[in-house]
Structure 1
């Protein structure tokens, strides 16, 4: 293809679909629990499995981006996702559904790593931050779409209707991508060994900071989708009520992204914006703790979504500035790091089953990490200035 830049609408759709799949599945948790006669923690296990397998998929597809190209990798991943969702629809056992949903996560990983690689091919610096902010604003709508659609489908046809809808939507996305998705892979790309890039990144403190911060932000947000359905069930609220709470979360996410764009235009440093986001997460944890015995505990979750929309564009835009010669591989490894953190974190959160505690721990750890980052940066600057003057 001659066109070398992806349309914003297609890029947003590709970034949205993994989160859309996850949020569509969340309202179906109670249906799956009752249909297969499994425990609450077993039903929620699929969400942590999703992120763990997603991490493996990110490494695979990120590497394939540099081998067979961004376009073909993306289309193959969506095709695998369609086949896996179809398998889930027909699965007679809970174990089979878990395997199918895991395979769906493997294919869905292209929506994250391949799309981010395409965007990084085309933009950098402040332009890339603005693009990620626009994408985050749009992605903020996916919880509304996913949870409303998932809750409606679950209420009328159970979990099988959810997977049927996934197959239809992913098939449409595959057709759209087949016609409109460009190939942005540079003609002369540096093909370093996966192990060489991994060795460099493992020793890079900035990479670990990004991975931990992104992981904690996602654990805070997605723990709501794995724990809240059972909290609402315990409080006597319907699955449709849970779906309607997505409006509050989406409003927070969109507001956070719009606020981030405004702060960037005012030349506020990214680290300061991220610091603000951690304080909001702590406030959300306190709010959920105070309201957890009522159905209104979802309202403080808007602050978690707002925090998410503030932090992630600033984290992602600076994540791979030293790895531009191997964005596909580096992006894959970064994804592996933070998706494994998300997967294990959500698995632990599901077993504990305490949403407020999860938010407070994530917010506290994030706050400490930002303080360490600012302190390290200040120390390095002072050391450099002293070396220059002497």
Structure 2
């Protein structure tokens, strides 16, 4: 089947919804130490919880939006999520304690889960297979501008108005997205796919997802891959500032590294029509795992001393590999669940995020003044993912086999 035309505004809207979480995470990167200092949370790397707390909320929240979306529609789920984000943002903006800050951040994450789940759900409502992977890759290509731009925006706001003003700007962005989505996005839930909002069908739907052997393997792989990016996010400021003394240039260096994801996501939108998706994912993971473990061994042994430029190059290659994974793994995990995309997207998204937070957060908290824990995190999660795919999933023919529902 030939590639179909995808509306540009649809891609932009889906990418903006996907960007919300990244904006709420990455714009705070330059402010982490200042927040930790102002709210007495610099000890034991506790300031990193400003990032992981929103991800915990995101993971838990995704369990609920699928059933809501399958019962009432995709648009009401997005409205609910954006409303919760605005409330959480107000709490964090005026927080006088670190605990209040974390509560607001968790609520932001619960809210952000709505748009996040609905992006995958709305796309799955309209596309499947390689075509879905292509759409997700194009969305990710646009999405990459958020981690490139967000730290720069956060740094500028920080210079003139302090970290609380960053939250104010994020609130304005939420309101603008709410208006755009309400006016321009149509409801995509098909009447025959509507499911009642009661405990029994919800539990049945969740059970169907987690009991699907192949889907479960890809959920674990998605979670481990996501843990790499969380480990990177929670470690990168400490590495850049603590080891390399990047100063005000940190957002620029971060943007360079983040471009690796955007470039690979753009390439991936074409690769999925040339290679079988499972094979592509496996080979990328093999490369990332092998490279990261070799780098870790060389640094640990003292054979190589990594400069700032070397670290940026290493991380750019790693993020390039990660950009080839996210959309493809999601497409593989979602493939069996076209009849219940909302619940499936929520369960898969929640599981992916929670695994990512647990594993990636542990890697981030193990930061010891070197880049070794981060490299080992990349390597071990990638090798484990390869084993899960090879032994837990059958070979699938998904290249250029898209069928629109």
Q: 2:288 aligns with which of 278, 281, 306?
A: 281
Provide the residue aligned with 1:388 in structure 2: none
| Aligned 8 A contact 2:217 2:388 in 1 | no
Q: Does 1:224 align with 2:203?
A: no
Structure 2 distance, partners of 1:378, 1:276, is 15
Provide the residue aligned with 1:385 in structure 2: none
Q: 1:76 to 1:206 in 2, by over 3 A?
A: same
Q: Does 1:16 align with 2:19?
A: yes
Structure 1 distance, partners of 2:47, 2:292, is 26
| Aligned 8 A contact 1:153 1:159 in 2 | yes
Provide the residue aligned with 1:318 in structure 2: 332
Q: Does 1:327 align with 2:341?
A: yes
| Aligned 8 A contact 1:55 1:336 in 2 | yes
200-209 or 162-171: bigger deviation: 200-209
Provide the residue aligned with 1:114 in structure 2: 118
Structure 2 distance, partners of 1:379, 1:279, is 16
Query: How many residues are treated as equivalent by the alignment?
Result: 376
Provide the residue aligned with 1:25 in structure 2: 28
Q: Does 1:251 align with 2:226?
A: no
1:142-191 CA-to-partner distances (Å, cap 9, x unmatched) read: 21111111222223333212111111111111121121122111112252
Provide the residue aligned with 1:309 in structure 2: 323
Provide the residue aligned with 2:381 in structure 1: 365
Q: 1:371 to 1:95 in 2, by over 3 A?
A: closer
Following TM superposition, by how much is the alpha carbon of 1:376 offset from its aligned partner in structure 2, in angstroms?
5.2
Structure 2 distance, partners of 1:241, 1:285, is 28
337-346 or 95-104: bigger deviation: 337-346
Provide the residue aligned with 1:128 in structure 2: 132
Within a 5 Å distance, the mapping from 1:59-98 to structure 2 comes to 59-98=63-102
Q: 1:284 to 1:300 in 2, by over 3 A?
A: farther
Question: SS at 1:193's partner residue?
Answer: helix
Q: 2:356 aligns with which of 342, 359, 373?
A: 342
Q: 1:33 to 1:50 in 2, by over 3 A?
A: same
Structure 2 distance, partners of 1:155, 1:287, is 36
What stretches of structure 1 of length at least 5 have no aligned partner? 382-390
Q: 1:258 to 1:169 in 2, by over 3 A?
A: same
Structure 2 distance, partners of 1:143, 1:320, is 25
Q: Does 1:295 align with 2:298?
A: no
Q: 1:158 aligns with which of 150, 155, 162?
A: 162
| Aligned 8 A contact 1:151 1:239 in 2 | no
Q: 1:244 to 1:335 in 2, by over 3 A?
A: same
Structure 1 distance, partners of 2:305, 2:171, is 35
Provide the residue aligned with 1:241 in structure 2: 249
Q: 1:30 to 1:261 in 2, by over 3 A?
A: same
Following TM superposition, by how much is the alpha carbon of 1:24 offset from its aligned partner in structure 2, in angstroms?
0.9
Q: 1:298 to 1:155 in 2, by over 3 A?
A: farther
Question: SS at 1:83's partner residue?
Answer: helix
Provide the residue aligned with 1:34 in structure 2: 37
Structure 2 distance, partners of 1:25, 1:211, is 28
Q: 1:175 aligns with which of 147, 171, 179?
A: 179
